[in-house]
Structure 1
């Protein structure tokens, strides 16, 4: 099978790590001839994947929309096109069997404040086009499927379910990295890995943390795209929507940068795992997720306790996990603070539970790749009328 993965852009943090794991797993499968990944240079994807280690992967940077060129050489010889991130661009027919992963319906369930209706409608129309005109649609949770049915109708029931929030590759201890981290950041600390999109709920997290009675003992590390902008000092307000709101909140509630809160921005991939492993706890206050939370899965795989939004997709995701999680209502800062206090009061219990659950059985990325390949074969048959 010859696979073209097309994704002009995606979430730089979690999305990039997800695509890295999936593309390399697809390339490991014996019946895959090649995986050609075509995306923008802005993604920095060549820095994530070694084509020497994965010779069946070909990474192509292209700023042009190859879909607009009939018989484009990147498309013409492939058997199936996989659109990893259909959120944003308009649908254009590849004239090939096309499979998409629709990651979430957050833009429709949690419309960012002050977003004009015309903007939301444009997103809705683009999404509807992708869902109706793609050969097959994949979702990463039953929750996402249910939201697609709610927004676009019962035809979305036919979407294939393939989970993504699964255990990461094994983390290998690196004492030198751990020593470096201990010199850079005050231990112990809570950590939240996420970009600053409004649904990631940094506002309620910061408000809750400001009310935490032991915040002088436990700092809060924020890693992820644009979190470094929370260091901005007025009148140098960042232009990015919602960041000035968070900056003003930090000032208003008396949180101090690099004492209480450490906004680190994007960190190198090799630092994410040790930062999570060495954390006092990982907190996940998001209002919405697609297939669950990759950082939560990473934390539990490394024995780090988790505080988590009590939302349907996270209940679905963590149903297969044995570790006890400190749940809270993400729309209530007071309930979030209560969860922090409870975890601190009963830390030994939560830590022991997380450690005992480290080896919970889970699927591998190779398992996920096999599921995708089955969908690709089905798409090819559906489109061409014969199997590869």
Structure 2
């Protein structure tokens, strides 16, 4: 049986983020394929404290994994590999005894498994295309992608938009870039937070930050005057400047805005399923996971025209220019009050979500792996 290694954390890493959801979808997809999956784990901080981690060796040379739980154990691998790259600019070369044919990394990690076909998932190029919208340093991201392009058997992206950006910005990788999208499965639903009436609120999901265009959305919601509260679910994120953050904090204090912070996956699924509509007029995305989750759950969505969000949504979402305040307010008002529009978007959304199921993702990965094998 063919063998594939994947990265794994001892404790779930950045639960709820796009990368974490991608990793979950990847595990589900691999379970559908006739392959043996071998996780590469790091043992967690407890393992490092126990003295299992040879820090100088990891920072300055090759490292070797040991077999553990049908996978591989390299204590503190991920944290120290990132540190090594930051300090030295070098990838960590990991030796696995009897290495599998393929290693599928869930995002661009500065690690190469010697003797395997290393596949790196790229979720977006926002640090390079829109550096003001993220706290990730553009110079480090470009340096990392340049180094990975020297060893990668393949880059897989979650959208054609990201694939195009990667080919343009890292041209020596363009013959090894494939869009496989990602699996979308909202999973089991929890309970809607107290005080919310099903079908009687608009919903925005994600970090409250400049990239999500949250200030423009709040102003559009105020001007649309739909009579429906705007629920914002997500933690604080990156801001271009302190003044913008203060303006958003003042707008969030309005009585028709409900800020509930970060929620677990089951609560997010319940929030989406019970919303009148999902609103996501962000300025930059690599995929736009909440939009597709809304489609899968039968909820109409508003998304930005242009970029990955528009690519993924197609004609199954109400698309609007996120830089046009008047158009955005009109779109919010329309999706909240036009029942026929919402019904049309729900029907189109279910069809679009069918293209992004775990089964379809597994089939795309199988085709990619077949080429590498």
- TM-score bracket, normalised by the shorter chain, equals 0.7 to 0.9
Deviation string, structure 1 residues 124-168 (Cα, Å, up to 9, x no partner): 11122223321111122221122122222264154112122x542
Residues 242 and 362 of structure 1, relative CA distance in 2, 3 Å threshold: same
Within the alignment, does 1:344 sit opposite 2:336 as a pair? yes
1:110 corresponds, among 117, 130, 142, to 130
Deviation string, structure 1 residues 32-52 (Cα, Å, up to 9, x no partner): 12241536869xxxxxxxxxx
Residues 108 and 205 of structure 1, relative CA distance in 2, 3 Å threshold: same
Residues 334 and 57 of structure 1, relative CA distance in 2, 3 Å threshold: farther
Residue pair 1:6, 1:84 contacting (<8 A) in 2 also: yes
Alignment of 1:164-243 (within 5 A): 164=182, 167-168=184-185, 177=191, 181=193, 183-186=194-197, 188-214=200-226, 217-226=227-236, 241=239
Deviation string, structure 1 residues 239-288 (Cα, Å, up to 9, x no partner): x65585454113545x426x322222221211111110110110111112
Q: Equivalent residue for 2:248?
A: 250
Deviation string, structure 1 residues 304-362 (Cα, Å, up to 9, x no partner): 1111111132332123x5x4x3221112233211211222342x112221343354243
Q: Which runs of 5+ in 2 are unaligned?
A: 46-68, 82-91
Mapped partners of 2:113, 2:270: distance in 1? 41
Residue pair 1:13, 1:224 contacting (<8 A) in 2 also: no
Aligned-residue offset at 1:100: 0.8
Q: Equivalent residue for 1:366?
A: 359
Mapped partners of 1:146, 1:97: distance in 2? 22
Structure with more contact order per residue of length (Cα contacts < 8 Å, sep ≥ 6):
1
Deviation string, structure 1 residues 203-231 (Cα, Å, up to 9, x no partner): 322232233323xx21112223437xxxx
Q: Equivalent residue for 1:357?
A: 348
Residue pair 2:93, 2:111 contacting (<8 A) in 1 also: no
Mapped partners of 2:14, 2:149: distance in 1? 18
1:142 corresponds, among 150, 160, 169, to 160
Q: Equivalent residue for 1:123?
A: 141
Within the alignment, does 1:376 sit opposite 2:365 as a pair? no
2:263 corresponds, among 267, 277, 280, to 267
TM-score, reference length from structure 1: 0.73
Aligned-residue offset at 1:20: 0.7
Residues 115 and 163 of structure 1, relative CA distance in 2, 3 Å threshold: closer
Deviation string, structure 1 residues 281-308 (Cα, Å, up to 9, x no partner): 1011111222x32211111222211111
Aligned-residue offset at 1:18: 2.3
Residue pair 2:127, 2:134 contacting (<8 A) in 1 also: no
Residue pair 2:278, 2:300 contacting (<8 A) in 1 also: yes
Mapped partners of 2:211, 2:350: distance in 1? 31
Q: Equivalent residue for 1:133?
A: 151
Mapped partners of 2:5, 2:134: distance in 1? 38
Residue pair 1:26, 1:366 contacting (<8 A) in 2 also: no
Q: Which runs of 5+ in 1 are unaligned?
A: 43-55, 228-239, 382-388
Q: Equivalent residue for 1:237?
A: none
TM-score, reference length from structure 2: 0.76
Mapped partners of 1:71, 1:306: distance in 2? 46
Residues 69 and 355 of structure 1, relative CA distance in 2, 3 Å threshold: closer
Deviation string, structure 1 residues 15-67 (Cα, Å, up to 9, x no partner): 212211221220232x212241536869xxxxxxxxxxxxx986979533487
Residues 40 and 312 of structure 1, relative CA distance in 2, 3 Å threshold: farther
Within the alignment, does 1:313 sit opposite 2:308 as a pair? yes
Residue pair 1:202, 1:246 contacting (<8 A) in 2 also: no
Q: Equivalent residue for 2:169?
A: 151
Q: Equivalent residue for 2:29?
A: 25
Q: Equivalent residue for 1:45?
A: none
Within the alignment, does 1:84 sit opposite 2:106 as a pair? yes
Alignment of 1:325-344 (within 5 A): 325-344=317-336
Residue pair 2:188, 2:269 contacting (<8 A) in 1 also: yes
- How many correspondences in the alignment? 331
1:281 corresponds, among 272, 277, 301, to 277
RMSD: 3.3
Mapped partners of 2:273, 2:265: distance in 1? 13
Deviation string, structure 1 residues 87-115 (Cα, Å, up to 9, x no partner): xx5x3432121011112111111112697
Residue pair 2:298, 2:349 contacting (<8 A) in 1 also: yes
